């Protein structure tokens, strides 16, 4: 008989207590938070699946490395350790640390926008990337493969670019107006779905033909490399590191929130393949925005932890367990009839809130209704990835309609057990069984940028 799960390739050395408050208290806490789980205090959350960004557990190797952090303002030894690791993994010539992924974005994206009205094209921009594109005076366009919008259809690489749409869009907008092509790997907004190496190579070839820079938004590049190793026939004999290097060969720039596949609580990266002029421009801009180029908004101990974490995240045994946790939760939900993005992706199970609550229109945020009900049911904090997160058209201010109304159950790395995931499944199944009673939401307070982080909502009667 085959195992139901992959045995974790680590043992637990330190624990943090969890507290579950009463259902009555949860209802009151959610109301006080403006029906926005981002505003909940962590002490009032039992199982926190809001994000995998900086929420994972570090290894004893990382903790010990932190004691060796060089806290020099300039020329830190810890920076040069990190630089060597990043160069070894990517093959890129230039490396700059940042405090997190959006710190990297705010440095690089404005350097690529030569004038207002330019465009970035992606398989799917995530929220902060889209915001930085718009803040820089450009516009974000998505050309993901349509397979990702059919959540019930099995496709091994639902995160892929639609290459025909990509080329048509380049021609329509004119190559000189394209500031860059951003490959988001894995494709978060599509459900944590991987992008094939063949697709990345084809995008790079097209971009080179039209003289356009390519950028990897690679917060979860190691997970993407693992999917390639098990799903892409031509890559099954390659190591994870070899696949990762070939992925990096498909781009000119690498931006990363290291809080994901860097296995750290804080940190980000900019790596540039060979464009010295761009590197110098980013380095100059970094000083007022993030800090001196050899610390980039981080302490030396953070740089040391990142250097170790980047290497640990490429371990195939760790990745096999990581991906299996997500698969396990997804299988439990599917068996109970809960609609999810299938197959499951690398960092989260994405529940199809549009199918779960078809009676709630997109502008009343059906996925947010499920997210809030899940907290009431079991103290579980998740996040909406749908029309609420997508926001408004930057020009007309009309509410945009997301292709998918998703609830993201994001699994922190090396943090929860399969038993925790069973509890999550049981709670969501209970919500699913009373889904017809759920109601939509409207805004009480709506920020102009990245509204989902700090918005205040109220339920509709």
Residues known to be catalytic: 73, 126-127, 217, 219, 260, 452
Residue 73 burial by Cβ neighbours in a 10 Å radius (0-12, 13-18, 19+): exposed
Question: Tokens 């699913």 appear where?
Answer: 432
* 96 within 8 A of 269, measured Cβ to Cβ: yes
DSSP states of 222-276: HHHHHHHHHH-GGGTTS-HHHHHHHHHTT-SEEEEETTTTT--SS-EEEEESS-H
Both tokens of 71, joined, read 């806290």
Q: How far apart are CA 261 and CA 91, in angstroms?
A: 18
Q: How far apart are CA 153 and CA 454, in angstroms?
A: 34
Q: How far apart are CA 161 and CA 142, in angstroms?
A: 9
User: Residue 340 forms beta bridges with which residues?
Assistant: 351
Q: How far apart are CA 459 and CA 442, in angstroms?
A: 7
Q: How far apart are CA 303 and CA 87, in angstroms?
A: 14
- Residue 451 CA, distance from chain mean position: 17
Q: How far apart are CA 430 and CA 166, in angstroms?
A: 42
Both tokens of 394, joined, read 């930057």
């Amino acid at each position: 008989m085959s195992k139901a799960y992959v045995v974790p390739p680590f043992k637990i050395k330190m624990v943090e207590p969890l507290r579950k408050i009463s259902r009555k208290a949860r209802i009151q806490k959610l109301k006080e938070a403006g029906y926005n789980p981002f505003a909940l205090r962590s002490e009032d959350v039992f199982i926190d699946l809001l994000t995998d960004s900086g929420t994972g557990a570090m290894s004893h190797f990382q903790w010990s490395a932190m004691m060796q952090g060089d806290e020099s303002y300039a020329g830190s030894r810890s920076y040069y350790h990190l630089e060597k690791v990043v160069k070894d993994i990517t093959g890129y010539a230039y490396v700059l640390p940042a405090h997190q992924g959006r710190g990297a974005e705010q440095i690089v994206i404005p350097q690529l926008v030569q004038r207002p009205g330019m465009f970035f094209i992606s398989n799917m921009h995530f929220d902060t990337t889209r915001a930085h594109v718009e803040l820089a005076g450009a516009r974000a366009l998505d050309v993901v493969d349509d397979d990702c919008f059919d959540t019930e259809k099995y496709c091994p690489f639902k995160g892929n670019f639609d290459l025909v749409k990509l080329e048509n869009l380049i021609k329509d907008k004119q190559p000189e107006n394209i500031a860059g092509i951003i490959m988001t790997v894995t494709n978060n907004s599509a459900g944590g779905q991987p992008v094939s190496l063949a697709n990345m190579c084809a995008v790079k070839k097209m971009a080179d033909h039209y003289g356009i820079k390519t950028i990897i938004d690679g917060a979860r590049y190691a997970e993407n490399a693992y999917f390639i190793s098990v799903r892409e026939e031509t890559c099954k004999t390659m190591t994870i590191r070899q696949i990762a290097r070939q992925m990096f060969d498909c781009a000119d720039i690498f931006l990363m929130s290291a809080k994901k596949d860097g296995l750290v609580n804080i940190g980000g990266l900019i790596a540039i393949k060979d464009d010295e002029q761009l590197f110098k421009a980013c380095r100059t801009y970094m000083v007022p925005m993030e800090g001196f180029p050899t610390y980039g908004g981080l302490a030396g101990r953070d740089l040391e932890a990142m250097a170790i974490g980047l290497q640990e995240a490429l371990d195939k045994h760790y990745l096999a367990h990581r991906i299996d946790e997500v698969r396990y939760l997804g299988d439990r939900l599917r068996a109970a009839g809960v609609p999810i993005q299938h197959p499951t992706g690398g960092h989260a199970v994405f529940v199809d809130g549009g199918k779960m609550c078809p009676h709630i229109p997109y502008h009343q945020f059906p996925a947010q209704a499920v997210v809030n009900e899940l907290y009431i049911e079991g103290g579980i904090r998740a996040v909406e990835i749908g029309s609420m997160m997508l926001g408004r058209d930057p020009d007309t201010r009309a509410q945009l309609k997301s292709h998918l109304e998703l609830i993201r159950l994001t699994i922190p790395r090396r943090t929860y057990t399969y038993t925790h995931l069973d509890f999550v499944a049981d709670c969501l199944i209970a919500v699913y069984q009373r889904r017809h009673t759920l109601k939509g939401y409207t805004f009480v307070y709506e920020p102009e940028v990245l509204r989902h982080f700090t918005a205040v909502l109220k339920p509709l009667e």
